[in-house]
Amino acid sequence: MAKILILGAGVAGHTAAAYLQRGLNKKHEITVVSPTSTYQWIPSNIWVGVGRMTPEEIKFDLRPLYKKWGINFVQAKAQTFFPEGDTEINSAYVEVEYTSKEEAGLKLKLEYDYLINATGPKLNFEATEGLAPGNGNIASVCTFGHASHAWELFQEKLDLMQNGQKQIFVIGTGHPTATCQGAAFEYILNVDFEIKRRGLEKFAEVVWITNEYELGDFGMGGAFIPKGGFISNTKLFAESYFVERNITWIKRAGVKKLDDHKIYYENLDGEYLEQVYDFAMLIPGFAGHGFNAFDKNGEDISTKLFAPSGLMKVDADYTQKPFEQWSINDWPETYQNPSYPNIFAPGIAFAPPHSISKPMSSKNGTAIFASAPRTGMPSGIMGKVTADNIIDWIKTGNAIMKHKASMGRMGAACIVSAGYGMSKGTAATMTVNPVVPDWDKYPDWGRDINTTMGEPGLAGHWLKWFMHYMFLYKAKGKPFWWLIPE
């Protein structure tokens, strides 16, 4: 009997749990640890943040599903890793702390033969002074709870505009090296859509603030897409979206601090500037969760498991090298820790070898650039590949690792909602293939130009709406869920 411990029940963790229970005999023990007992379809947070969906429509309780699947569920957060056990326990384990009301604070040692660390990122609001959601006029859409608060705050601003009071909406990135520009891009377009739908645009100024060198970078160095007889950069694509909607932008900006009505930022020219706002939704920086790890003798081995960012080291090439020498071969394929091969870190929990966008610094030495994004589709694929490799390992007794999913070889689709509505809605369907540009294979454009695209239109909204229900159907383990791809 093998014990498989999964930390995290987000896209990567839940996908891995689903495929493991399907692929393994019931005699094997699967345990999922998550601080909350709900699964949320994060891409739809955007619609919660503008009041088009309720939190209940984008989440569900995992416990009945895991009971049906024969998976143990522990509502707790991981704290300390003991990959060799200790002087008392002769087996690898993770110490977790319960988070449910009834057992809050109690600790538990969970032993494992295979560990999947899918804990995602820590939303590092503390890294930017004043950024925490709920702090005055600041919102977030990173969780369904944050998005619900964002909608409440947005409604207050809509009411003020209805009374003739002008409001400034600033949306974008809230840390000099933040990522997830795509989510902020969706939110600003939806906020703008909802303002215009109510005829309040003359009372609104909508501003995009970003750490991107150019708009449309999205943390992946931008992309080239065929459009109108040209192959153009996503810079034009993103800028066109904003100009069409009369949204202005501030780029190359590293946000350092917020107070109730001002955002303080530094730009790549080293200037310290301010932007006034009445409503701000800025994506925080991401970090690891600050886990510690110890060997059998109690020696701290955290650096063997984790990168300085706190994210887990995997089969990536972490050698420091200049941007010009970066290659897709730097990126991991199996998400296996090099020191402890029975530990995996799919999704956002793995430490990328470097960013995808070129690192930039201001004249004052402040790093201002977009970190590498890892959206739902790659995270789901990584979760499935990890499960497939563990299943093979258990069944054959050999760590053959034949299933691979490198961000340098996989494509990704991102449907950027720009307004909700089955007849008046719109979204941009974006695909990149591969996620990390492969300049050796595609010397002209870095990616396969036949499968890299960006297309605005109503069909994009239908796709996003369809995917919302399709992926929740899959996550709920409804009949034939496994036929739906990640």
Partner 1 sequence: MENRLIITKYSDQYYPPTPNNFTLFLRKSVIFQIIRFFILNYKIMKILVKGHS
| Residues in contact with partner 1 by the rule CB under 8 A | 236, 239-240, 242-244, 246, 248-249, 251, 377, 381, 384-385, 402-405, 409-413, 423-424, 426, 429, 431, 433-434, 451, 453, 455-460, 462-463, 485-486
Q: Which is nearer to partner 1, 301 or 385 (CB)?
A: 385
Q: Which is nearer to partner 1, 135 or 232 (CB)?
A: 232
Query: What region does 246 belong to: left with phi over 0, alpha with psi -120 to 50, or beta?
Result: left
Please classify residue 418 by burial: count the beta carbons closer than 10 Å to its beta carbon, then call 0-12 exposed, 13-18 middle and 19+ buried.
Answer: buried
CA distance 316 to 436: 13
Q: Which is nearer to partner 1, 25 or 423 (CB)?
A: 423
Q: Containing H/E element for 358? A: none
- Give me the sign of the Cα torsion angle 264, 221, 286, 486: positive
Q: Residue 255: count other Cβ atoms within 10 Å of its Cβ.
A: 31
Please list, in sequence order, all residues whose beta carbon lies within 8 angstroms of the beta carbon of residue 422, skipping any fewer than 6 positions away.
461, 462, 465
Contact 421, 194 (CB under 8 A): no
Which two three-digit tokens encode residue 126? 């503390």
Please list, in sequence order, all residues whose beta carbon lies within 8 angstroms of the beta carbon of residue 187, skipping any fewer than 6 positions away.
46, 49, 50, 141, 150, 171, 281
Closest of 134, 133, 137 to residue 156, by C-alpha:
137
Quote the least distance from Cβ 279 to partner 1, whole Å.
21
Residue 284's SS3 state is coil
CA distance 139 to 125: 11
Quote the least distance from Cβ 422 to partner 1, whole Å.
10
Q: Which is nearer to partner 1, 112 or 193 (CB)?
A: 193
Residue located via tokens 């091969």: 341
Quote the least distance from Cβ 126 to partner 1, whole Å.
32
Q: Which is nearer to partner 1, 165 or 246 (CB)?
A: 246
Quote the least distance from Cβ 238 to partner 1, whole Å.
9
Q: Which is nearer to partner 1, 89 or 459 (CB)?
A: 459
Q: Which is nearer to partner 1, 155 or 451 (CB)?
A: 451
CA distance 70 to 468: 26
Q: Residue 196: count other Cβ atoms within 10 Å of its Cβ.
A: 15
Q: Which is nearer to partner 1, 59 or 251 (CB)?
A: 251
Q: Which is nearer to partner 1, 84 or 388 (CB)?
A: 388
Quote the least distance from Cβ 332 to partner 1, whole Å.
12
Q: Residue 249: count other Cβ atoms within 10 Å of its Cβ.
A: 18
Quote the least distance from Cβ 404 to partner 1, whole Å.
5
Quote the least distance from Cβ 125 to partner 1, whole Å.
29
Which two three-digit tokens encode residue 386? 């990890």
Measured distance between the N- and C-terminal CA atoms of the chain, rounded to whole angstroms: 28
CA distance 171 to 179: 13
Quote the least distance from Cβ 412 to partner 1, whole Å.
8
Quote the least distance from Cβ 462 to partner 1, whole Å.
6
Please list, in sequence order, all residues whose beta carbon lies within 8 angstroms of the beta carbon of residue 437, skipping any fewer than 6 positions away.
220, 221, 223, 328, 356, 446, 447
Q: Which is nearer to partner 1, 3 or 251 (CB)?
A: 251
Quote the least distance from Cβ 295 to partner 1, whole Å.
33
